[in-house]
Copies of this chain bind each other. A is one copy, B any other.
């Protein structure tokens, strides 16, 4: 079924059919109806590749994320997709698994498909790519990386403030031995959280002892991280996780070892994913407004009635959400194997 078939059936030219389908130009009402009927009868649907090639209305935007499995990214995607659909757009999504190389090929794929806008919501970065995208005049939204320009909108979350609040909150609760569990700590936005953790901890040194480990993103990674900490001899009264997704695994490991949260150990996450309030104990975390981020991306990439607006830099604040997984440090757990507290800040890769 091609445009030509429809044209033949409706006894008009392909140009007219195209005009009807795209709702542009002047077409007689009766002709519109004839065409629509032919479309129905033939069950015609347009070849989007041809349409895009020919420079037609390009109603698709792309979104690249690091890990779709992590509800954080998924939520942003879902919000964006809903907004996009509402405006007649489709969104193509690609996953990088935190691999810069995959980022490169995903971007190529998106550009090759001719998206009309691209959201890059990843933690890994590729300076050359960012530059290239900046130099093009494709509307792009970078999350966490890059800098604003005419066609570039930049969304930055203030992780440092969020992390600082978490550490101070825990310190205020009497916690003096904290462990940090992260993943891909070489990636800047992620190492930011860890760095902040360490910096804030340093302020309170030497009263505050810390340790950091790294694993893979996700519950399993979190569980591994928790194991590593628990078997290290360092006995934290609080475990700070780089995100909620990993904290889920930490909670599980504690449960399996009959370590009570928060009575024996406090646990915190970051992101405030939906699941955070559905686990037991519900997770204390820093809220990142993912829906707002999704909407902002949509706004930046999908032209509205008044165009699309210049690229700009948007700062997002986080908010501490206290739930059940944190409590004052127990004096009980402090005494356990006090001997081993001598060892400090072990860095893992």
- Please give the residue numbers on chain A whose beta carbons come within 8 Å of chain B beta carbons, in ascending order: 43, 45-50, 52-53, 68-69, 71, 74, 77-78, 81, 90, 92-95, 108-109, 111-114, 132, 219-220, 223, 248-249, 251-252, 255, 274-275, 277-280, 282
Q: Which residue of B lies closest to A252 (CB)?
A: B278
Q: Which residue, A77, A109, A278, has most C-beta atoms of chain B within 10 A? A: A278
A48 proximity list for chain B (CB < 8 A): 49, 109, 112-114
Q: Which residue of B lies closest to A111 (CB)?
A: B45
Contact between chains at A280 and B278 (CB < 8 Å)? no
Contact between chains at A45 and B90 (CB < 8 Å)? no
Contact between chains at A46 and B112 (CB < 8 Å)? yes
Cross-chain contact of A74 among B43, B68, B252 (Cβ < 8 A): B68
A114 proximity list for chain B (CB < 8 A): 47-49
Closest Cβ–Cβ distance, residue A220 to chain B (whole Å): 8
Contact between chains at A50 and B53 (CB < 8 Å)? yes
Q: Which residue of B lies closest to A108 (CB)?
A: B45
| With A68-B78, A278-B279 already in contact, 7 other A-B pairs whose C-beta atoms are closer than 8 Å | A48-B113, A92-B92, A93-B93, A252-B277, A252-B280, A252-B282, A279-B280
Whole-angstrom CA separation of A112 from B2 in the bound complex: 11
Whole-angstrom CA separation of A157 from B280 in the bound complex: 31
Contact between chains at A248 and B108 (CB < 8 Å)? no
Number of copies: 2
A78 proximity list for chain B (CB < 8 A): 68-69, 95
A68 proximity list for chain B (CB < 8 A): 74, 77-78
- Given the known interface contacts A68-B74, A278-B249, A280-B279, the answer about A53 and B47 at a Cβ–Cβ threshold of 8 Å is yes
Contact between chains at A49 and B46 (CB < 8 Å)? no
Q: Which residue, A49, A53, A255, A274, has most C-beta atoms of chain B within 10 A? A: A49
Contact between chains at B113 and A49 (CB < 8 Å)? yes
- Given the known interface contacts A90-B109, A109-B90, A112-B47, the answer about A219 and B280 at a Cβ–Cβ threshold of 8 Å is no
Cross-chain contact of A43 among B49, B93, B132 (Cβ < 8 A): B132
A220 proximity list for chain B (CB < 8 A): 274
Cross-chain contact of A255 among B71, B113, B219, B280 (Cβ < 8 A): B280
Q: Which residue of B lies closest to A97 (CB)?
A: B82
A53 proximity list for chain B (CB < 8 A): 47, 49-50, 53
Instruction: Pick the 3 closest A-B CB pairs, nearest first.
Output: A48-B112, A49-B49, A219-B278
Q: Which residue of B lies closest to A77 (CB)?
A: B68
Whole-angstrom CA separation of A43 from B107 in the bound complex: 12
Whole-angstrom CA separation of A48 from B111 in the bound complex: 9
Closest Cβ–Cβ distance, residue A211 to chain B (whole Å): 23
Contact between chains at A274 and B219 (CB < 8 Å)? yes
Whole-angstrom CA separation of A46 from B109 in the bound complex: 9
Closest Cβ–Cβ distance, residue A123 to chain B (whole Å): 18
Cross-chain contact of A275 among B74, B93, B111, B248 (Cβ < 8 A): B248
Cross-chain contact of A81 among B74, B95, B108, B111 (Cβ < 8 A): B95
